[in-house]
Each structure stands twice: as C-alpha cells, then as structure tokens.
Amino acid sequence: MKKSLGAKDIFFPGPISMIVTGAEDNYNVVTVALLGLVNCDPPMLSFTLSKSRYSCDLLRENKKISINIASVNQMKEVDFCGLVSGKKQNKFDNTQLTLTKIGDEFAPIIKESPFHYVGQVVKEIEFDSMIMYIMEIQDVLIDNDKIDENNKINIKHINPLVYCTTVREYWNLNNKIGEGYNEGKAYM
C-alpha cells in the first residue's frame, strides 16, 4: 500500500552548499539545498534561490560565484548562513568562515569546505517565488587529502552534509554500497 503525499517539494538526500557571490568589498554567503548537475559538456550546475534573498541582488551585479560543498562538521555554519540575511549581518564574521581568493577571474572559495565549484552564472530562469541559476563550471577544486593514491575522490573523507527538503533534516553519508555502471550488469 502507498500513501499519497500530494504535490510537494520533497527531495532527498541532496548536497548542501554555501554559495559565495558579490564583489571585493561586499561578498556574501548563502546556503543552497537545491543544487544539481544540468549539463556535462560544458559542465553546468543549477541552484535555486528564493527571490527575496540578498544574494539575488548580488548575482545581478556580478555573475562570478563559488559553490562550496559543505562537510558534516560545517552543519552549524551552513544552517546559520541559511537563516540570516547578508544584508543585515556579515556572515563571515559571525561564523569565522574564511574566504580564499584563487584568482581574479573567480569568486573566492570558503577555505573550510573540502570541495568547490567555481564559475559564472550564464542563465536565469524565473519562477513565481524562486530563481534558478545555471552556472558554467570553470574549475573544480578539492582538498589534497580528499583524493586517494589513484587520484580518485574519496567521498568518505569529504564527508558531505546532505539535506532533505520539507522534512528539514541534515544527514551524513554512511558507506559505499556499489559501483555505478556496474551493479546493473547482472540483468544484462
């Protein structure tokens, strides 16, 4: 038996990130739970923000952004950056998150995050209360200690924080249970 929940914005789990946007004298960080890969060549991500967010104004002025994937140990900072407006408080001062510049062509990254996408917003799609931004990925950065000896990303070391919308719960990932493009071969 199945129970109908109706049309809801339930999606889980999904990576939660902190997006940095703005300009040299006015950077802001905003928490984003609605994030996804939308194209492979060139690589592009989408993220969605409420139209009321201060970062929407900053994105109109400057399209350079960094998407900083949060680890489990950043849960309090992530939650705070989603609760408070950058128009009213400097979230970097409150959380002790550190901005690190990686070049003039990119927005700075959050040093404490283990994994980063840097690039530029290339498209906006407006909905009733939200704006979806499409970002072209121009580089991907990862902490050296999060890659194994075969140059493969070690997800366990990244320990990404994931979020379940609607139920409003943060989770971690436990263990790898299979290999993509391999597990279904038993049916071939």
How does residue 108 score in pLDDT terms, banded at 50, 70 and 90? Answer: very high
- What pLDDT, on the 0 to 100 scale, is given for residue 115? 96
Pairing between β-strand 64-69 and β-strand 115-126 as defined by DSSP bridges: antiparallel
How many structural domains comprise the chain?
Answer: 1
SS3 127: coil
| Integer CA distances (angstroms), 108 to 65, 66, 92, 103, 130, in order | 8, 7, 12, 8, 25
38-97 pLDDT, tens per residue?
A: 999 999 999 999 999 999 999 999 999 999 999 999 999 999 999 989 888 899 999 989
94, part of any domain: yes
Structural domain for 143, as ranges? 14-187
The token pair at 107 is 């927005």
88, part of any domain: yes
95, part of any domain: yes
Which residue(s) pair with 67 in the sheet? 19, 117
- What pLDDT, on the 0 to 100 scale, is given for residue 182? 86
1, part of any domain: no
Check which CATH number belongs to the domain holding 148 and give it. 2.30.110.10
- What pLDDT, on the 0 to 100 scale, is given for residue 177? 72
Do the beta carbons of residue 74 and residue 15 sit within 8 Å? Answer: no
Question: For residue 155, is it left (φ>0), alpha (ψ between -120 and 50) or beta?
Answer: alpha
